[in-house]
Amino acid sequence: MDMSLIETACDIATAIAFTMGSIFLLIGAFGIVRLPDFWSRLHAAGVIDTAGAELILIGMMFQTGWDIATLKLILIAFFVFITSPTATHAVSNAAFVAGLRPLDLKKDETEETLGDVPTAAIPHRSGAAASPGTTSGTEGNA
């Protein structure tokens, strides 16, 4: 009686977590397709990487019981939680350095606030700018 009650509670928890996680996944994927701009698509990707993935992994944890699979799921959730925002930050940093700006930007204040930010590191966006070797010295992080 007691074990079946626990199993039922775990099933209900899994159902709730899977439902919310699937909703977040679909919202994020729909936003990645439909949003108009790279910088707004970053938000949709963040919804997928944190809320959707973590909720689905938590829902899986309720179904394993306590064995080694739970530990593996906790490790997967930990690594996804750490590495996904880092990768998203790296993508946005690279896009910013490459000269990508929001769509309806009224005034680009990059040079007056940050100084000389190189925007010519990517050859297909550089145009008539200087050679790529001159930009790699001033930009610190990667």
Partner 1 sequence: MILFIAGTAALVVAMLLVLARLYIGPALYDRVLALNSFGTLTVLLLGFIGFLTERPDFLDIALLYALINFVGTIAVLKFFRYRALGRGLGNRDGAEG
Residues contributing to the site for partner 1 (CB under 8 A): 11, 14-15, 18, 21-22, 25-26, 28-30, 32-33, 38, 41-42, 45, 48-49, 52-53, 56-57, 59-60, 63-64, 68-69, 72-73, 75-76, 79-80, 83-84, 86-88, 90-92, 94-95, 97-98, 100, 121-124, 132-133, 136-137, 142
CB distance 18 to 37 below 8 Å: no
**In the chain, count of helices (H) and strands (E)?**
6, 0
Closest CA to 77 of 93, 65, 63, 59: 59
DSSP for residue 134 = G
Q: Which is nearer to partner 1, 104 or 112 (CB)?
A: 104
119-136 core/surface letters (b: 16 or more CB in 10 A; e: else): bbbeeeebeeeeeeeebe
CB of 129 to partner 1, least distance (A): 15
Q: Which is nearer to partner 1, 72 or 116 (CB)?
A: 72
Q: Which is nearer to partner 1, 115 or 133 (CB)?
A: 133
CB of 9 to partner 1, least distance (A): 14
